[in-house]
Every structure is written in structure tokens, then in C-alpha cells.
Amino acid sequence: MRKLIIIAIALISIQAIAQTERRDRSERAQKMNNLSAEEIATLKTKRMTLFLDLNESQQKEIQKINLENATLRKTMMAQYKARKANGTAQRPTKEERLKMENARLDHKIAMKAKMKSILNKEQYAKWEKAQLKMAAKRKDKNRGMNRQK
């Protein structure tokens, strides 16, 4: 009986910790959503500068790329939120999904080409390795979300 009570207390405390962590993540995401595209691009450029040891000219070029990406992301999110508010948000058809995936991959290819032209070989290798690591992290996160449903 005593062991059952201890196990129940442990499970309840683990659940409480998990919920607070999930809440913290959503609060951070809300704070990032409140930033403008320029602020997001500046933060990302500074993180990349620290990670890749960028020089001034590289920083300026990457700032432009990050600003374009942040602006594009903000407009897409605004469109999605508007569709969701209107009640017209629905699952895309097979053709629409194919079109979106092609556009995403084209953007990714263009981004890789731009980064290759801006960064030196060591920086590019380090950046590419980090991209693969982030993709793996996203994939693991998505797998976990699918299991929860």
C-alpha cells in the first residue's frame, strides 16, 4: 500500500513538472510572436554571428536574408490567422500540399545557395551541420506530438 502511494505521488509530481515546462515554452513562443520581423531578423543574425563567427559584410548580407525570411513567415502566419478567424481554414488538397512542399523546398535550396556564397567553407559546414541537427529535433518533436493525439 505504501509503495502504491509513493508511485502515485511520483506520477503526479512528474505530470505537474511537464505541464509547467509546456506552459513556459508557449509563453516564449508568444513573446517571439510579438516581435517585429526586423527584431526577429536581428536576433537571428546575432545568434548566427556568435555561432559562426561572422565578419561585418557577412552579417549585413545574412541580416537581409533573415529579414526576408522573417517578413515572409510573418505574412504567412497573418494569412493563416485571418483564414482561421474567418472560418475558411481547411485542410489543403493533395495538389495544394504538393505546391506548398515544392515552394518550401525551392526556398530551402535558394537559402542554401545564398548561404554557400556568403559563408566560407568551415562556416558553411558548421551551419549545414546545425541545420541537420535542428531538422532532426523538429522531426522528433513532431513524432512526439503525433503520439499524444
> Is residue 147, in this structure, part of any structural domain at all?
no
- The per-residue pLDDT for 25 is 63
Nearby residues of 124 by Cβ (< 8 Å), 6 or more positions away: 115, 116
Q: Is 104 exposed, middle or buried (0-12, 13-18, 19+ CB in 10 A)?
A: exposed
Do 57 and 27 lie in one domain? The reply is: no
- The per-residue pLDDT for 20 is 64
Domain extent, residue 66, equals 36-140
> Is residue 106, in this structure, part of any structural domain at all?
yes
Q: Cα–Cα–Cα angle for 84, 90, 92, nearest 5°?
A: 130
> Is residue 47, in this structure, part of any structural domain at all?
yes
Greater model confidence, 33 or 20: 33
- The per-residue pLDDT for 112 is 94
- The per-residue pLDDT for 137 is 86
- The per-residue pLDDT for 23 is 60
Lowest mean pLDDT of 19-23, 56-60, 108-112, 116-120, name the range.
19-23
Do 84 and 60 lie in one domain? The reply is: yes
> Is residue 145, in this structure, part of any structural domain at all?
no
Do 53 and 20 lie in one domain? The reply is: no
Q: The C-alpha cell of 78 is what?
A: 497573418
Q: The C-alpha cell of 135 is what?
A: 531538422
User: pLDDT band at residue 30, thresholds of 50, 70 and 90?
Assistant: confident
Do 5 and 52 lie in one domain? The reply is: no
- The per-residue pLDDT for 111 is 93
> Is residue 53, in this structure, part of any structural domain at all?
yes
Q: The C-alpha cell of 26 is what?
A: 508557449
User: pLDDT band at residue 115, thresholds of 50, 70 and 90?
Assistant: very high
Distances (CA, A) of 113 to 58, 89, 97: 14, 34, 24
Total number of residues shown for the chain:
149
Do 16 and 40 lie in one domain? The reply is: no
User: pLDDT band at residue 139, thresholds of 50, 70 and 90?
Assistant: confident
Q: Name the DSSP class of 73.
A: H
User: pLDDT band at residue 54, thresholds of 50, 70 and 90?
Assistant: very high
- The per-residue pLDDT for 32 is 72
> Is residue 148, in this structure, part of any structural domain at all?
no
145: amino acid identity, one letter: M
